[in-house]
Amino acid sequence: MSILLSDEREMSDESGQEPWLYELTVSEAAEIDGALAALVDSGKTDFAASPADFPLPKVGPKLRRIVRSLEDEPGFALIRGIPVNGKTEEEVRRLYWGLGMHVGVPLIQNNADASIVDIRDEGRAGRLRVHTSNQHIGFHIDSTDIVGLLCRRAASHGGTSLVVSAEAVRRELSWVYPDLLTALYEPLPFADVASPDENHPDFFMCPVFGRHEGRTTCRFYIRRILRSQDNPAAPRLTDRQRQAIAAVEEIAARPDLVTPMQFQPGDLQLINSHLVLHGRTAFDSDESEAGRHLLRMWFSVPSSRLLPPEFEAAWGTRQPGTLRGSALRWQLHGEFGEFQRRQAKELGVVIPG
C-alpha cells in the first residue's frame, strides 16, 4: 500500500506526500475482490461470518496498522482504491462488511438496528440527524471510537468532507477566546442519539474537551447540545456556554485548520472520533440512483484510548479497548450481539462487565 500524492493540499511530510492518504495497489484491490467472492461462496450471512470468511492476508494487517495509527495525530486516514465500481449496492454493502470485520467490532447505529447506515439524500432531515439530506453538516463527532465512511458514489458538485484536529481547535480557542474555553471543560447536556422521541430527547452530560495523561479528548455536536434544551429536565444552557459552542464551530471551520477531502468512489475514510471533528459541505442532489452515496460503519477497536473520567457517563465506560459508544441498549442483543461477542474475542476488544 503506497502513499498517494494529494491534489488538494501539499502540507505534509518531507516528501510532500500526505501521511493520511493511502492508495491500494492493483493486487491489493484484487485481494479484496477475492475475499468478497469467498464470503459469498461460504453461504454465510453477515452476522454468521468471521474475518476468516473474508480473507485478507495482506490488506487486513495493513488496515489494522492504519487503525492503530489513528490514536495519534492526525487521527484520520483515507484509503483509496476499494473496488466498488461495477458492483451492485448489495455487493458493495457485503464488501464493506467484510472489510469492517478487519477494522473492529461493528456497532448498531440507530433504533432500526442498522449496522451499516446509508449517507445519501432521501429528501428528509431529522431534528437530531441530517445525514438523509443534502444539507451542510457542521463539525461534530460520531458516537463511536472509529467511524468509517465508504464512498460508493460521489456527488457531482459539493459534498466535500471536512476534518479538523480537536486539539488544534482547543489550542486556537485558548488564544482567541480564552474566557470561553473554560466553559467547554464543564459538563454540557447532549441529546442522546438513542432518544426514542427526538422532540423530547433523553440527554447525558459531558464536556466538549477533556485532558487526561497529556492528551486531548473531545465530544462535540452543536445540534445535539442545543436539542437537549427540548427536554425540560436538561440543565439550561447559559449565554456563555452558547457562545463557547458557537466558537468551536467558528474555529473548526478556519481554512488554515481544516483538511478538505473530495471523495471518489472506492474511498474509505477512517476517523478517530476522540481526536477529530468532521463535517461536510452541502451537495447537489442528483437522481437517487446516481447521487452521492456513502456507507457508514461505527467500530470499537482494541487500540482505543483511556478516556478522561468526566467522559464516562457519555460512553458507558472510559476503559481503553472496550466495546463502547453508540447506545448501550442497542448492543449485544440477538444474532448481532452474538456476532459482536465473537468479533470482540477475535480482535481482543473487551466487553465491559
- State the pLDDT at residue 232: 95
Q: Are residues 193 and 152 in the same domain?
A: no
Domains contained in the chain, number: 2
Q: Are residues 102 and 237 in the same domain?
A: no
Q: Are residues 172 and 240 in the same domain?
A: yes
In a domain, 352, yes or no: no
221 close to 190: Cβ distance less than 8 angstroms: yes
Average pLDDT across the chain, whole number: 90
- Quote helix, strand, coil % in the chain, to nearest 5: 35, 20, 45
Position 4 pLDDT exceeds 60: no
Q: How confident is the model at residue 155 (pLDDT cuts 50, 70, 90)?
A: confident
165 close to 289: Cβ distance less than 8 angstroms: no
Position 289 pLDDT exceeds 80: no
Stretch 169-184: mean pLDDT, rounded? Answer: 97
**45-54, 92-101, 193-202, 252-261 — which is least confidently predicted?**
193-202
Q: Are residues 158 and 206 in the same domain?
A: no
In a domain, 317, yes or no: no
In a domain, 37, yes or no: yes
CA distance 318 to 121: 35
Looking at 232, 252, 272, the residue that finishes a domain is 252
Q: Are residues 33 and 98 in the same domain?
A: yes
Position 265 pLDDT exceeds 50: yes
Q: How confident is the model at residue 194 (pLDDT cuts 50, 70, 90)?
A: confident
Q: Are residues 112 and 9 in the same domain?
A: yes
- State the pLDDT at residue 197: 78
Q: How confident is the model at residue 255 (pLDDT cuts 50, 70, 90)?
A: very high
Name 106's bridge partners: 299
Position 328 pLDDT exceeds 90: no
Q: How confident is the model at residue 133 (pLDDT cuts 50, 70, 90)?
A: low
Q: How confident is the model at residue 290 (pLDDT cuts 50, 70, 90)?
A: confident
Position 116 pLDDT exceeds 60: yes
- State the pLDDT at residue 49: 98
Q: Are residues 280 and 211 in the same domain?
A: no
Q: Are residues 6 and 108 in the same domain?
A: yes
Position 120 pLDDT exceeds 90: no
Range of the domain at 186: 166-252
Q: How confident is the model at residue 123 (pLDDT cuts 50, 70, 90)?
A: low
* Three-class SS state of 331: coil
Position 217 pLDDT exceeds 60: yes
Q: What are phi and psi of 93, to 5 degrees?
A: -60, -45
Q: How confident is the model at residue 318 (pLDDT cuts 50, 70, 90)?
A: very high
Q: Are residues 115 and 244 in the same domain?
A: no
Q: Are residues 203 and 266 in the same domain?
A: no
DSSP 142-159: -SSSEEEEEEEE--SSB-
Q: How confident is the model at residue 136 (pLDDT cuts 50, 70, 90)?
A: confident
Q: Are residues 218 and 339 in the same domain?
A: no
Q: Are residues 97 and 139 in the same domain?
A: yes
User: Residue 55 belongs to a domain with what CATH number?
Assistant: 3.60.130.10
- State the pLDDT at residue 282: 85
- State the pLDDT at residue 129: 54
20 close to 76: Cβ distance less than 8 angstroms: yes
